[in-house]
Amino acid sequence: MTSVQVRGRAERVLAMLDERGLEQMMVSDRSNIRWLTGFSGSAGVLIVSKRGHQFITDSRYTDQARDQLDSSGATDIGVVTARTLADRNLAISEAASGSPLGAEASIVPQSEWSSLSAHAELVAADGLLGQLRRAKDESEIALIAKAANIASETLSEVAPMLVAGVSEREIRDELEYRMRKLGADGPSYETIVASGPTNAALPHARPTARQFEGGDTVVIDVGALVDGYHSDMTRTFVVGGPSDEQQRWYDLVLASQTAGLQAVSEGVCGSEVDRACRSVFEDAGLVDLFVHGTGHGVGLDIHEEPFLGASASAELMAGDVVTVEPGLYRVGTGGIRIEDLVVVTSDGHRNLTTHPKDTPCPPSPRTI
């Protein structure tokens, strides 16, 4: 698989800057830099400017930067090595050439902003890149799909291990180990394995040493990371099979998730997807147990634009990659959440999550 090609993206930033009356900006956010250059390291700032683009980094990263920019097609971006903080400020100042310089005020620490302000006129310019990064191209979608497939396949391997006596952490360990064996660079985020009447009732629980017991709901929220791109998926199982109430909840969450997916299409407002999910729970009198938003964008960040919630105002666009993940949570009963990752298309969506979701029953343990 060749690298994602980034050529032309910096020009799209320039066009958006132009609408704000700016000729240039300094990009500090790591994912924004990666999207514009292909650079995956942890130090450096990118100057996008009408007068030419420059990536300013330190000597540890010069070779890596040149290699990654070349293989990503960012051959129009120069690489500048700054050995000290003073060198770096000077390089930024020279690139700015006395004109106002947009900067990500929500990323740049106050002390850095303050010291740079002696060298350049900084202007807050947040949010532009988040908008541009929304519509994924085919090579980006291919990486996200690969990550999603790895997570699905791994969960198929691990689901038969969901039996009484096994701990949340043991399942987390197996998932993360096996995702890498299948080609992931690592987990996409801190894997959630949340079980039983208390832990599973917390949407963002962290895996503990708790051992499964018969009748536990087990919420597994797991994704893989491939070349910087994330996947995101949740499946819920009931150890030993569901009670009547758990089956009813499961059917409701699946109906809610199906309704949400059906609502996804280019031009639809994020709040409409949320409404579709929520209305199923309203009809069942359980909407108060759905305590989080319906979904979010996924790409170089695990949480990015657009967000799908009751107050979301953005319309979905073709190429958005978003989660749809309704759930119900109550201490005592536990929790049920079902989450797929989909690409928005002109007439609906394409589901990247292949793991089955028709039943909360884990497959029988296999004889090893």
Query: CA-to-CA distance for 327 and 201, rounded, in angstroms?
Result: 10
CB-count burial class (<10 Å; 0-12, 13-18, 19+) for 195: buried
Q: Which long-range contacts (CB under 8 A, 24 or more apart) does 133-136 make?
A: 133/31, 133/32, 133/35, 133/299, 133/300, 133/304, 133/305, 134/297, 134/299, 134/304, 134/305, 134/306, 134/317, 134/319, 134/320, 135/317, 135/318, 135/319, 135/320, 136/299, 136/319, 136/320, 136/321, 136/343
Query: Smallest distance, Å, CB 126 to a second copy?
Result: 7
Q: Compare residues 172 and 355 and give the one whose CB is closer to a second copy.
A: 172
Nearer to a second copy, 135 or 189 (CB): 189
Dihedral sign for Cα 259, 263, 264, 268, please.
Answer: negative
The residues near 5 (Cβ < 8 Å, ≥ 6 apart) are 72, 73, 139
Question: Closest separation between CB of residue 352 and a second copy, Å?
Answer: 24
Q: Which is nearer to a second copy, 176 or 320 (CB)?
A: 176
Q: Give 75 or 114: the residue with its C-beta nearer to a second copy.
A: 114
- In the complex with a second copy, the residue whose CB is nearer, 46 or 205, is 205
DSSP code for 5: P
Closest separation in Å from C-beta 135 to a second copy: 26
Residue 176 Cβ vs a second copy, minimum distance, rounded to whole Å:
8
For residue 251, what is the enclosing H or E element?
Answer: helix 244-263
> Which CB atom, from 63 or from 137, has the smaller least distance to a second copy?
63
Site for a second copy, rule CB under 8 A = 60, 103, 105-114, 124, 126, 169, 173, 176-177, 180-181, 204
Q: How far is the CB of 103 from a second copy (least distance, A)?
A: 8
Work out how close the CB of 247 gets to a second copy at its nearest, in angstroms, rounded to a whole number: 29
